[in-house]
Amino acid sequence: MSHPIHRVRSFAIVGHYTLRVDFEDGVSRTIDFSPILEGEVYGPLRDPVVFDRVHIDPETHTLAWPSGADFDPATLHDWPDVEEAMKAMARRWAELASARA
């Protein structure tokens, strides 16, 4: 079984925690990441200075941050289909963090 391999071609910061992501197949997505910036991996990206250090990883061709946070390029490409699941996952991460505090 094979599935398409998606690669981020370029991106632009278009708002607070919002990026326009362009893919090699011509698809473009504007993604507001603010609802999913929770947990150990994505929570630190709530700092705008950290978030704005986003870059394209040259090996994986996806968005990545110096902290090690990144996203599967297929997730970004198919964002309209996975957005609600990602938000639900972020809510669970936030609940776990609250329970530990």
6-41 residue pLDDT tens: 999 999 999 999 999 999 999 999 999 999 999 999
Per residue in 50-98, pLDDT tens? 999 999 999 999 999 999 999 999 999 999 999 999 999 999 989 988 8
* Structural domains in the chain plus CATH codes: 8-100 (3.30.2020.10)
Q: Which amino acid is at 64?
A: A
Query: What span, in angstroms and rounded, lies between the C-alpha atoms of 95 and 10?
Result: 34
Strands 18-23, 28-32: pairing is antiparallel
Residue with tokens 């150990």: 40
